[in-house]
Homo-oligomer: A and B are copies of this chain.
Amino acid sequence: MGAIFVDICDVATQPLDVMAGLAFVTRSPNGAENLFVGTVRGVNQGKEVLGVSYDVFESLAKRSFTDICAEARAKWGRELSLYVTHGKGRLPVGGVGIVIAVGAPHRDEAFKACRYVIEQVKHRSPICKLEHYADGDSEWTKGCELCTHEHEVAGHGRHS
C-alpha cells in the first residue's frame, strides 16, 4: 500500500525538500520514481523577473492536493505513493516552488500520475503568484479560472 503526504511550506523558514519527497515515495514494491520540480524562471513574457511570491489558501490547497493524489491512486494503482509540497512566500529566481514525487512499481504509472498531479494542481489548487520584475513593478499573474472538478481540466491548454 502506498501513502500520501501533502504540505504547504513557508519558504522563508522551510525551503522545499526534494530529497524528502523522493525518500517518502521510494518504498517497496516501487521501483520507479518520477519527480516534478517547479522553479522560478528568470524571464516571463519578455520581462526580467527577480522572484515571485506565492499566496496560498492553505486549508483548501492541502485538501485539493490530497484529493488529487487520491484520484491518481484510483487511476494508476493503490500501491502508488505520492508527495506534494508547495511553497508560500517569496522565492528568488531558481527557487523551488513545488515538489511532486510519485513512486510506483513501474515507470509508466509514475510518469502519468506525476503529470496528472501537476496539471490538476495548476487548475484546481487555490494558489496565486505575484511576479516581481527587475523594473521594480510587481504583478499578479493572470492564472486560469479555478476548476472545481477534475473533469474540467482535461481540455485545458498548456500553462507554464
Contact assessment for B40 and A31 in the assembled complex, using a CB-CB cutoff below 8 Å: yes
**CB–CB B41/A30 < 8 A:** yes
Residues on B with C-beta less than 8 A from A43 are: 28-29
Decide yes or no: A31 and B106 within 8 Å by CB, A19-B18, A115-B111 being known contacts: no
**Contact status B107-A31, CB under 8 Å:** no
A158 to B104, CA, bound (A): 14
Name A42's contact: one of B18, B29, B94 (CB within 8 Å).
Answer: B29
User: A35 contacts the other chain (Cβ, under 8 Å)?
Assistant: yes
For residue A146, CB closer than 8 A to chain B, the reply is no
Q: Does A22 make an interface contact (CB < 8 A)?
A: yes
Q: Select one of B18, B28, B40 contacting A41, CB under 8 A.
A: B28
A59 interface residue (CB < 8 Å to B)? no
Contacting pair B18 A22 (CB below 8 A)? yes
Q: What distance in Å separates the Cβ of A112 from its nearest Cβ neighbour in chain B?
A: 10
Chain A: residues with Cβ within 8 Å of the partner, total of 34
User: Which of B19, B30, B94, B111 contacts A39 (CB under 8 A)?
Assistant: B30
List chain B residues, Cβ under 8 A from A28: 41-43, 93-94
A37: Cβ under 8 A from any B Cβ: yes
- Chain A, residues 34-60, CB within 8 Å of chain B (1/0): the string is 111111111100000000000000000
Contact of A32 with B by CB under 8 A? yes
- Contacts A32-B37, A32-B38, A111-B115 known; 10 new A-B pairs at CB < 8 A: A26-B37, A28-B41, A31-B40, A31-B41, A35-B35, A35-B36, A41-B105, A106-B160, A108-B158, A111-B114
